[in-house]
Amino acid sequence: MHEVETEYKKIKDDLLSFKSISEVLNYNLNENTIKVEINQNGIEESQRVCVLKPSSCNEVIKKEADILDRKRIVLEHLEEKLRLYKEMIKVLKRKLAKVNDERFFKFELDKDEEITCTYFYYDEFEPSSINYIYLSQFKVIDPRSHITFSINDGGLKIGYINSYKEGINHGTSMLSFLLAIIPMLNNTIDERNEEVYQSLNCTWEDFKESVLYQEKITHIYGTLGTPGMSEDEMNRLISFYKRSNLYENQTIYKELDKPTEIGQIDFKN
């Protein structure tokens, strides 16, 4: 196995194994550039054959040259992907330092078998504001794919989903990630309600009836499509939400009977 192939495989395996932010931040990245060099033994052997069997010389050398060219193309492609992975890791070290919580990032493979990282800046979470879940991939680090959401009156509204490339699970990864962190978002809403209540001089019942009280997430909703969307695009979007069981009565909707169990959703589905 060529040195480029070895390092490429190592970086992919390392990223998929990360379980904590500190592992990412402390990852020792090899900054050295690996030069693609092809072993010429096959051509040299062919030249020896030319001496022994001149009539077969051109055919043998062409065959060996084609093999080397194909190998060079594969390695140069891997070399470029390796460079992009290293650049992604550098950027993610800065971005994930802001995440500061193991529950809010995830490395996984998309359908192209390339590494993606989905993450959420939990410290910036504001229920009634527009919040972002990001997905970085080695070709598109920043700007990143993202999904927006907000929470109001117990409803989690799914906003805009911007996916760099359709059909390779980026949208599904971001949506699954969002569904999985609902229990943590509800815990945060509970904690903030308690903090606000403790600062007031009123009963809990009065507080719950006030505009200061934030309802926990009990349902998911959203608006399908955008003005001017084609019928084909709309059908693909409907299929996308159907796969996540979020399509009901021709719109995005799902009641959460047990919101605290939503986080058990499998990211790989």
So what's the pLDDT on residue 2?
76
pLDDT digits 0-9 by tens, 157-194: 999 888 888 888 999 999 999 999 999 999 999 999 99
Amino acid at 156: L
Rounded Cα distance between 268 and 19, Å, is 16
Cα torsion through 225, 118, 107, 100, rounded to 10:
-160
Rounded Cα distance between 248 and 47, Å, is 70
So what's the pLDDT on residue 266?
37
Residues 223 and 252 sit within 8 Å (Cβ to Cβ): yes
So what's the pLDDT on residue 101?
81
Rounded Cα distance between 182 and 77, Å, is 40
Tell me the pLDDT of the chain (269 aa) as tens digits. Answer: 678 888 889 989 999 998 888 898 899 887 766 565 555 555 565 556 566 566 666 666 677 777 778 888 888 888 888 888 888 888 888 888 888 788 899 999 999 998 899 999 988 899 989 999 999 887 777 768 999 999 999 999 999 888 888 888 999 999 999 999 999 999 999 999 999 999 999 999 999 999 999 999 999 999 887 778 898 988 988 999 999 899 988 899 999 875 444 444 333 33
Q: How far is CA 186 from the centre of its chain?
A: 23
So what's the pLDDT on residue 107?
92
So what's the pLDDT on residue 68?
76
Rounded Cα distance between 83 and 94, Å, is 18
